[in-house]
Amino acid sequence: QTPPSDCSEIPPGSPSGIYIIQPAGLHRLVVYCEMNVTNGGWTVIQRNKKDTPITWAESWSTYKYGFGNVRSEYWLGTEYIYQIAKQKVYQVKFVIQDATNTTKFADYNLFSLEDESHGYRLRLGSYTGTAGDAMTSNNPNNMHDNMKFSTKDRDQDTYSKNCAYSYEGGWWYSACYSVRLNFKGGMTWGSLCTGNCKSSLILIKPDRQGKGTAHTPGVSPLPSCLPTTASSSVQPGLILAFTSPTTGCVNTSPTQLLVSSYAFGGFLNPAGLLAAPQQ
């Protein structure tokens, strides 16, 4: 059975959790599907919190293929985000917890990236929400929409120096930012919280006013279990898990989740995400 192409194809009413998806033309990926926020069906592409153990000052290749713990703080991978979002017309929801623990939202009715050869340039639609429109701006110095992605070792911003190096995290910088979510410490979202945001979540799914999506019956999240065998060695910073040959369930710890190639007949790419052989 072919896995869903993204979390929007998980049946309504399914629980939030870790699922296997397979975007068109790509190998299988392990993602977290958020099924409770605004009718569910959201693919989580970023999650962060102020006291994260993750160092977000990573290289271009690390951002490209993703890093972190899919159950807590992680970046899905810029290449995988691009591959998912090119399938249909997608929307994006930024979920920001401010300094007073109030959750605010920023929705853009279009979300897409250009490919790597064009720097994963970000394209956003119109804004609605409660967090404030911090991703688009009349000030070219802190615009994020229409910007290329930059990391500490690939400077594609409009600043004379490297914003990603200076501000310790990859992002769609101009010169430099009004949004800083990929950061170890207090985050920033416009004027809502400047250096003291407590958590962030970035969710994408197809815009149902554009192209509809089909539901895939019989898909359920990967259950948890105690480790019985590990088919791959554990490496710090990778997403890791143990799978049971009898139940196919996945074991996770607070800091580690690695998907075993045993259960899915795949292999682990450098980010620890499941990469099944091309059919």
Task: Give dist(CA 52, CA 203) in Å, integer.
Answer: 19
* Domains of the chain and CATH, by start: 7-206 (3.90.215.10)
Reported as a pLDDT band with limits 50, 70 and 90, residue 137 is: confident
Beta strands in 131-277 (DSSP E): 179-180, 187-189, 193-197, 199-206, 242-243, 250-251, 267-268, 274-275
Supply the pLDDT for residue 63.
98
Q: How far is the CA of 197 from the CAs of 48, 57, 182, in angstroms?
A: 10, 18, 12
Region 59-80 average pLDDT: 97
To which H or E segment does residue 83 belong? helix 78-85
Reported as a pLDDT band with limits 50, 70 and 90, residue 271 is: very low
Residue 110 φ then ψ, to 5°: -140, 135
Supply the pLDDT for residue 222.
56
Has residue 138 got a pLDDT over 90? no
Q: List, in sequence order, the alpha helices (H) in 124-243.
A: 163-166
169 Cβ contact partners less than 8 Å away, ≥ 6 residues apart:
56, 57, 58, 180, 181, 182, 183, 184
This prediction's pTM: 0.78
Separation of CA 246 from chain center:
30
Supply the pLDDT for residue 238.
30
Q: Is the CB of residue 201 less than 8 Å from the CB of residue 70?
A: no
CB atoms within 10 A of CB 123: 14
SS3 call for 21: strand
**How much of the chain exceeds pLDDT 70, in percent?**
75
SS3 call for 240: strand
Question: Which of the pair, 215 or 105, is modelled with greater confidence?
Answer: 105
Where does residue 237 fall: left (phi above 0), alpha (psi -120 to 50 degrees), or beta otherwise? left
Supply the pLDDT for residue 257.
36
One-letter amino acid at 150 equals S
Closest-CA residue to 153 (of 55, 58, 56, 79): 58
59 Cβ contact partners less than 8 Å away, ≥ 6 residues apart:
151, 152, 153
For residue 200, what are the β-bridge partners? 48, 96
- Taking the CA atoms of the chain, what radius of gyration do you get in angstroms? 18
CB atoms within 10 A of CB 179: 24
Reported as a pLDDT band with limits 50, 70 and 90, residue 220 is: low
